[in-house]
Amino acid sequence: MILQSLVRYYDRLASEGSIAPPGFKHVEIPFLIILNEAGRFRALQDTRAPSGKKLVARPFLVPAERGRSGPKGWQVANLLWDHLGYVLGEPKSEAEEHVEMARKQLAAFATQVGRLRERYPDDAEIRAVHLFLDASDFAAVRSDPLWSECKKIPGCKLTFRIDGRPGIVCDSENVKDWVAKTNASAPGDEDDEAGPGEREGVCLLTGVYGPLERLHPRTPIGANTNAKIVSFQKGMGFDSYGRSQSYNAPTGKRAAFAYTTALNKLLARGSRQKIAMGADTVVFWAERQHQLEDVFAELFGEPARGEPRQDYKSIVAMFRAPEIGATPLLDPDTRFFVLGLSPNVARISIRFWYTGSVKEMTSNIERHFEDLDVIKRPGEWRTLSLRSLLRSTAVLESDDGVPPNLAGGVVKAILAGTPYPRTLLSAAIRRCRADQSRRDSKTGRLLENVTYPRAALIKAVLARDHRFGTRFGTDCEKEVHVALDLENTNVGYRLGRLFAVLEKAQEEASPGINATIRDRFYGSASATPVAAFPHLMKLKNHHLAKLENRGRAVNLEKMVGEIVDGIREFPLHLTLADQGRFAVGYYHQRQALFAGSKKEQ
């Protein structure tokens, strides 16, 4: 289903003329070798342009790379482009084995160009490249001022352009004709003498009988530049019924090219159809051109630097037109696909897969943001990105700390409108307790442990559990509100409120205090209240006695009394859900106290 949808997406893009044709791909090539028509070297051309703090190479449409690996991988050269070893015979180092390998790679590359010239002897551009390689005199290239820059790039890719002509040699119609007629994988896998003969069969993706792909093309993702979705290691127990490698999952050559090319386009640098979430990457597309493809990343991803974050309501409203009697911008019944991927050692792991109509998906997305809705401080964004939510559950709020399966479970719950993963609540609560003593590295100030993203996340989990619990007829607590709820009698929520007031009393009694009761008691108060609150209530009397403003002391005492009136006794422990309500109650009360202080000022 996943690969079939990617093949159809490729066909859609091909009909729009916005993707590489069969046998070609877009490759970032940092330097071009400029030749004259006689094949003499003129200069190196730097194609890189600044992108932030980095220089990014320009992508060119070139013949697709061919599968190569193992000790005989050097026999397979890409057509008219490749890295330094193939194009110029430049070794990785001065070691003898590297020098010999570069010599063989150059020979394979030159042989490939030689065959091309034999087929098209009148093509001046191909002839120039062949003459350059046949001369084997690259001293002029190595003396070019840009050579040192080229050498700095590991595996620097090169291709050719003829001086005075637009485009690169790969743009030649003769090159396109050659690729169309010889578009097949070449031998080059481990332990292959000459590679197995080409097999034919029925493609699992298209149902068409024809040549099958032995080695599927690569799909670079993250730091892994050699990853594949479909891959079987040879001679390691995956061979069966006389089939080895990717013949175990029969896929036609055209279908293998189509799905990998479509996926590579989604994962390409600068793509607006991917979202990074911890170690995972989410890509998305529609069966037909749809505006949701352009704004989906804005709903869940981080905005580009300098760009304002969009409010989810303004985005979702565009797709709710039929419900209010307006003319829809685009078909709400269009199918939409979301795929979660994670790089592995040699293969790509599928974290999740979701498909549904635009109407269903936007309705569930809107419900997700409504569940997240919680009062916030001035300056906080209303729309929380998925990445910021997941990072709030990780150590030091880093992407690397997000549990591997959590991101996929959360995305699937959002899009399908199902309960969030149970581990999401425990992860958020665990960070609330662990970060009670975390300080800002620059100012030394004690940081909030129940932050806006964590409070929103916990509130969303509780709200959705409440809704599904009611649906299935179970006894549920009162739903957690957006802001402070004075009528909520849940013991966890009330204890969280009480803890916030007791902390406020301490802060006002000792202005500028380095550590509050949160620093020492939040963990025990939220998990085993009976072990912490009796002592905290005694400390409260001491703090209130120190307040010079007796009116303020009376108000705080009344606030404590109003909260405690709803608590019969301090429980021995709180359930995980009530620990979540404790965190939300604490957060709500802190925001109410903060707003009250602003009004008094």
Tens digits of residue pLDDT in 312-366:
666 666 655 555 555 555 577 889 999 998 887 778 888 889 999 988 888 898 8
Residues (pLDDT < 70) of the chain are 67, 69, 183-197, 223-225, 235-238, 241-242, 278, 301-330, 378-383, 436-447, 470-478, 596-601
Site of tokens 């299935």: 472
Residue 308 pLDDT: 53
Query: First and final CA of the chain: distance in angstroms?
Result: 61
Reduce the DSSP state of residue 443 to 3 states and report it: coil
Q: Cα dist. 561→75, 101, 165, 597 in Å?
A: 83, 82, 85, 20
Burial degree of 414 (CB within 10 A; 0-12, 13-18, 19+): buried
> At 253, which amino acid appears?
K
| Two structure tokens written together for 260 | 């990998």
Nearest to 410 by CA among 386, 382, 442: 386
In sequence order, the 6+-apart residues with CB closer than 8 A to the CB of 17 are: none
Q: Cα dist. 122→38, 109, 112, 176, 384 in Å?
A: 13, 20, 17, 15, 61
In whole angstroms, what is the distance from residue 267 CA to residue 275 CA?
9
In whole angstroms, what is the distance from residue 452 CA to residue 284 CA?
28
CA 162 to chain centre: 39
In whole angstroms, what is the distance from residue 490 CA to residue 469 CA?
16
Residue 395 pLDDT: 81
Residue 113 pLDDT: 95
3-state helix, strand, coil split of the chain in percent (to 5) is: 45, 15, 40
Whether 74 contacts 101, CB under 8 Å: yes
Tens digits of residue pLDDT in 551-578: 889 999 999 999 998 788 899 999 999 9
pTM of this prediction?
0.77
Residue 122 pLDDT: 94
In whole angstroms, what is the distance from residue 415 CA to residue 201 CA?
37
Phi then psi dihedrals of residue 395, to 5 deg: -60, 130
Plot region of 446 (φ>0 → left; ψ -120 to 50 → alpha; else → beta): beta
Per-residue 3-state assignment (H helix, E strand, C coil) for 230-261: CCCCCCCCCCECCECHHHHCCCEHHHHHHHHH
Reduce the DSSP state of residue 278 to 3 states and report it: coil
